[in-house]
Structure 1
Amino acid sequence: MTDTIETIRLSEKQKQQLIRLKAKTGIENWNVLCRWALCLSLAEDSPPPYEDIPSDSNVEMSWKVFAGEFSEVLHALLATYSSMSNDQHGLKSADYLKLHLNRGISIYSKSLC
């Protein structure tokens, strides 16, 4: 995973799920919820399923905001899991992150809602 991730853009569905999570948890920052969602997805035994996820909401954050002080750790985790996933879709780092966020936000939403 040598390409860099500049900006993370969420889908409208993810935005709506995160709004509900913000209300349930009291956590106000998208980046914190998204970091937790990423970790939930990475903890799964299988790679996230491939799907075309639109970036159709107004929620976006830079990698620096998303990862914060954990930038190097999160990038290393993504690189490790990416190399273990036997990717057959030629995904870039940002695509792989998007799939993990999608699955993680769904897991997080189902566990609290």
Structure 2
Amino acid sequence: MIIKHFKLSQPEKERLIRIKAKTGVQNWNILCRWALCWSLSEPTIPGSIDPQSDSNVEMDWTTFAGEYAEIYEAIIRQRCLNDGLGDDPNTLIRYFRLHLYRGINHYSTRDVLKSCSDLLESALPKEKA
């Protein structure tokens, strides 16, 4: 388990509320999984500004990851190794939060999501020009 529990930042909470309204997906953990996966699919390392933990939205790892907890952990660990960051516990926690933060920010950006179908389309492979 990467982390026992974590709190979202107030901006993340507000962004997730907007994403919930656009998509109709009501569960924080489901939206957070989508956000994490989107960020992990991006080739760049997320920014290094650690998100605050200042909202009242708290989630434990088993709620976040569900029955796929081991898979999410393995993917995050491998991504950290691929990026040359190592896989010590603090690095895994930090980059899990940075990827989650980046994914939530992406999905909350104007015009990225207008409906649940936009969320589903974001999972499709990107077309190469």
Q: TM-score, normalised by structure 1?
A: 0.90
SS at match of 1:61: strand
Partner of 2:19: 21
Change (3 A) 1:4 1:52: closer
Shift of 1:86: 2.4
Tell me, yes or no, if structure 1 residue 76 matches structure 2 residue 77. Answer: no
- The 8 Å contact of residues 50 and 94 in structure 2, kept in 1 or not, is answered as no
1:44 paired residue among 42, 45, 51: 42
| Distance across 1 between alignment mates of 2:83 and 2:3 | 19
Alpha-carbon RMSD: 1.7
Greater radius of gyration (CA): 2
Tell which has more relative contact order, 1 or 2 (C-alpha 8 A, sep 6+): 1
Question: How many corresponding residue pairs?
Answer: 110
Partner of 2:113: 112
Gaps of 5+ in 1: none
| Distance across 1 between alignment mates of 2:60 and 2:82 | 26
The letter for the 1-side match of 2:104 is I
Shift of 1:47: 1.1
Shift of 1:44: 0.2
Q: TM-score, normalised by structure 2?
A: 0.79
- The 8 Å contact of residues 50 and 97 in structure 2, kept in 1 or not, is answered as no
Shift of 1:94: 1.6
Identity of aligned pairs, percent? Answer: 46
Gaps of 5+ in 2: 115-129
The letter for the 1-side match of 2:93 is A
| Distance across 1 between alignment mates of 2:45 and 2:91 | 14
| Distance across 2 between alignment mates of 1:50 and 1:61 | 22
